[in-house]
Amino acid sequence: MHKPTVQPFLTILLFVGILSPAVARDAATASLLNAEAKQIPGLPGRINNPGGVNALMYQRIKPGMTLNQVENIIGFAGIPNPEAAFGAQQAYTWSNPDGSQITVWTRNNRVTIVGKFGLPDVAEAVGLDEIPLLSYSIFELIKPGMTVEDVELILGFPGRLEPELSTIDAAQVWRWDDLDGDYIRVYLGEGVVVSKFTSILNLQPTGIVEAEVNAERLQLGMTQTQVEDILSAGLPYPDPTTPEFDSFIWKYDDGSVLVVVFDENRAVVINPL
């Protein structure tokens, strides 16, 4: 059998402090002998995940996870990579057709090291300076009848298709992940949202809520120009339940959202979420 070409692994993240001394020593060995981490060109993925691996998946994998948890994030089982293993560490690789890949090292079925080859940073992967955090307030903005483009406009970055979750009622399933590990999933039938799900808990915000503070600065009857002079320009909100009105949203760092609805250029709804 032809031995795969050995390529240096570009990125190996070492996580110490939570590791036992033996694992820490193994991790240090990996950093010094990173030639042990090998690219496996063309390593195929399972057919139930044609999207392969991406930077968002890599970001969500953390030390301490079980191999099964990693497989649930990626969507298919990794390939044992004995040439990358060292000491008591086992290595598993998930690869794209272009050779980019994710490799994790495990000890006693727990992830100790996560590495990637050929994958961009998360923000670069979706063409943004940073990935916006998701919140339950933003999740509530997603309505039945929206298109996936509408959802992407609200969330602020592209999602990924999960073809393995498709059903008769939901021909397409899309998912968005933020860097905190939270996600929003929407189910589309006939091209529009029919249902949705999120991992984010519906917790009552504590302290000052930015959307509520800014809502108090507005008054019903204000024009759109007056509102934008106070808040800056809002993001168009394509609410399919009120197509006759012009709706805009303002998203804040604490996860809260302010919705303002205009009728004939006058604010008729001011709704902090």
Render pLDDT for 185-213 as a digit per residue (tens, 0 to 9): 999 988 899 999 988 877 666 666 888 88
Helix (H) or strand (E) holding 214: helix 210-215
Q: What is the pLDDT of residue 262?
A: 92
Positions in the chain short of pLDDT 50: 1-50
The answer to whether position 5 is within a domain reads no
Domain end call among 73, 96, 124? 124
Q: What is the pLDDT of residue 9?
A: 38
The answer to whether position 2 is within a domain reads no
**Which 3 state secondary structure label does DSSP give 50?**
coil
Q: What is the pLDDT of residue 121?
A: 67
The answer to whether position 203 is within a domain reads no
Q: What is the pLDDT of residue 266?
A: 92
Indicate yes or no: pTM above 0.75: no
* Most distant CA pair in the chain, distance: 75
The answer to whether position 134 is within a domain reads yes
224 shares its domain with 192: no
CB 76 within 8 A of CB 21: no
Domain end call among 198, 219, 245? 198
Q: What is the pLDDT of residue 256?
A: 86
99 shares its domain with 32: yes
Tell me phi and psi for residue 258, to 5 degrees: -115, 125
Question: How many other CB atoms are there within 10 angstroms of residue 266's CB atom?
Answer: 13
Q: What is the pLDDT of residue 207?
A: 65
The answer to whether position 3 is within a domain reads no
118 shares its domain with 137: no
Q: Cα(82)–Cα(229) distance, rounded to whole angstroms?
A: 61
136 shares its domain with 185: yes
Q: What is the pLDDT of residue 43?
A: 33
The answer to whether position 107 is within a domain reads yes
Residues spanned by the domain of 193 = 129-198
48 shares its domain with 143: no
| Cα→Cα distances 69→66, 173, 206, Å | 5, 20, 31
Q: What is the DSSP string of 223-246?
A: BHHHHHHHH-PPEE---TT-TTSE
CATH of the domain at 88: 3.30.1450.10
Considering its fold, how many domains does the chain have in total? 3
Tell me phi and psi for residue 245, to 5 degrees: -110, 160
Domain end call among 107, 124, 141? 124
164 shares its domain with 259: no
Tell me phi and psi for residue 214, to 5 degrees: -75, -30
Q: Any idea which residue has 């399933």 for tokens?
A: 173
The answer to whether position 204 is within a domain reads no
H-state helical runs in 75-177: 122-125, 136-140, 148-155
106 shares its domain with 47: yes
Q: Cα(56)–Cα(126) distance, rounded to whole angstroms?
A: 9
* Chain Cα centroid distance, residue 166: 19
The answer to whether position 45 is within a domain reads yes
149 shares its domain with 111: no
Q: Cα(54)–Cα(34) distance, rounded to whole angstroms?
A: 22
